[in-house]
Structure formats: structure tokens, C-alpha cells
Amino acid sequence: MKKTVRIGTRDSQLAVWQATLVQQELLKHGIEGELVYLKSDGDIDLITPLYEMGVQGVFTKTLDAALLNNRIDIAVHSMKDVPTQLAQGLQQVAVLPRASFKDILVYRGDELALFEELGFVNGEWAMSSNSKFKIQNSKFIIATSSVRRRAQWLNRYPHHTLDNLRGNVNTRMRKLDESEWNGAIFAGAGLERIGLRPKNSIDLDWMLPAPSQGAITIVCRDGDNIAAEACDLLNDTSTATCTKIEKDFMRVLMGGCATPVSALAIQKEQNIHFRGNILSLDGKEKVEVEYTVPELQSNNLGNTAAQELLAKGGDKIIAAIRNV
């Protein structure tokens, strides 16, 4: 066993929290870890919307290069940031137990007025058709840099305005506080992990998450058996199975930051329940699929679901997005 495992991480508060968790979990098995801090292109450019940056892995490629150059032994990522195809020479060696997969809305202003606007009554979400009826003349502004969140929000609230919001979670929370926006959308797990989720927030139970949202993954070089064996001790089989299905679904659809693809697989007893969708960029068109299959028959579920979605009209949505 190596004396110390060099753990690569972005230097944002959330990324460091995730890498520190891996460091602590390895130490429980008697394996020392040292954090190595790196800054990605996605952390440097905080202006350009993610879907306009024209590259998959904008938050991961710097760590990939450090791995391939033997500057670090493992890299820790939010799994939703990892491209469906890893860089040549790298392998996924562990997926940690998943936290919340939900998106949340952090809001400002009059809570009662906002809840009425959104159709959120007594802690329950109204049907989207009812919400759409109420907001024909809405002046609400919601912020997000995610094309997936943007499309799902506009599908439900077509008369709202969506504004761009970039930066790490701390920066985005500060920008929201300083803005005139009515709210901004975040991944619940990110804020909860570092203790930043405010009271003025609600779960967007109707919004389907990004594939593998809420999961943390560890990557190392191909052939580094020592690092792979160490990290395998941290692998959560159920989370790894579900996130693989979601990533397979995304891979078939060629999804990335510029494509509004959502997917969620949940293991319930001996079954896997899967939901997936794709939307047009303006949220006006949506194609959905849903499956429940025995876990032992779920190995190809992501591919199967994606092929059905394409046959139901998802192919036309993808073609239109590529022509934009």
C-alpha cells in the first residue's frame, strides 16, 4: 500500500468537503490521504453559461490531466459533473452513498406570494397545468446556469424569466442575496453538505434531477491497482448501480451541459424504478419514459430507456438542439 494517497480536488468549499470525506473514509481503513488543490476552467470562467462553454467535463478535465501526469493518485468529483465517457487511461473506482438527488429553490421576498405563484400549497405542489393558469402575467425571475433546470422550469412556468447564475455554491448564494431575483435553483446535496441550505428553500419534488446528481465518485489511473483497491473499500453498490443506469441513459442520448436530459434510478427492495426525460431548450416539448424492473435485469436499463425515449420523439428534440 502507498504510504499516502494524493487526493486531487477543486478548491471550492464543496469540492474540498467531498475530498475531505474521502480522506476521512480512507483513514478509517488505515490509509493516509493528502489533499492536492487544483482549479478547473469551470471555476475560473464564472460568466459564460455552462451550456455555452462547449466542452464536457469542464469541472473535471484539470483533475484528469493531473491524474494522467501522475501529480495525484485519485480525483474526487461530484458525479454529475463527470462526462459519460472518461478520458482514456482513467477508470472509475468507487461511488459513495448518494445524498439527496433533489433540486431546491432558494427564494427571496414574500413567501406567501411566491408559494401562490408557484402553486405550492400546504407543503404540496399543485399540478403544473394549474400553476400555468395562475401566472399568465408573471414578472418572476429565476436564476440558474443549468439548461436542464431552465427547460424544466419553463415547461412548468412558461411565463417566468430565467437568468444566468454561475460560480460555486457560496458565490451563487451571495449573488442571489445581492440580486432582485425571486429565487435560484441549486442541488440540494451541495448546500446541505456544507451547511449552507437556508430556511427560505423548498424541494422541487416535481423536477427530475441530472443523471447521478447527489453522488460522489472517485477516479484513478488505469492499472493503479493500489489506489483502485483502496477506493473499492468505499464503494456503495446500490448507488453505483443506479448512477450507472442514469449515465448509460445520458450516454445514448449524447447528453451534456447543453442538453436538457434528466434521469433518476432508485432501488426499492429487489427492484429498480427509473424515470427519464428530455426537453426542448424552451421547455415547450418533453418526452418521458418510466420503468420498474427487477434489479437482476437492470444491467441494460439505461440503454433500453434511452432507445424508447428516442423512438417516442426524443430524437427530434435532439436534432433541433443540435441545429440551434
Catalytic residue set: 81
Checking 17-22 for CB contacts under 8 A at 24+ apart, the result is 17/193, 17/194, 18/76, 18/77, 18/78, 18/193, 18/216, 19/76, 21/96, 21/216, 22/74, 22/76, 22/96, 22/216, 22/218, 22/231, 22/234
Taking a C-beta distance cutoff of 8 angstroms, is the pair 188, 203 a contact? yes
List all residues 6 or more positions away from 319 whose beta carbon is below 8 Å from its beta carbon: none
* CA–CA separation, 286 and 173 (whole Å): 30
Helix (H, G, I), strand (E, B) or coil at 77: strand
Q: What's the grid cell of residue 294?
A: 427487477
Backbone angles phi, psi at 83, to 5 degrees: -60, 155
Q: What's the grid cell of residue 105?
A: 429553490
List all residues 6 or more positions away from 123 whose beta carbon is below 8 Å from its beta carbon: none
Amino acid at 86: L
Helix (H, G, I), strand (E, B) or coil at 259: coil
Using CA atoms, how far residue 259 sits from 105, 228, 289, 296, 301, in Å, is 21, 32, 17, 30, 20
The two beta strands, 183-187 and 141-143, are parallel
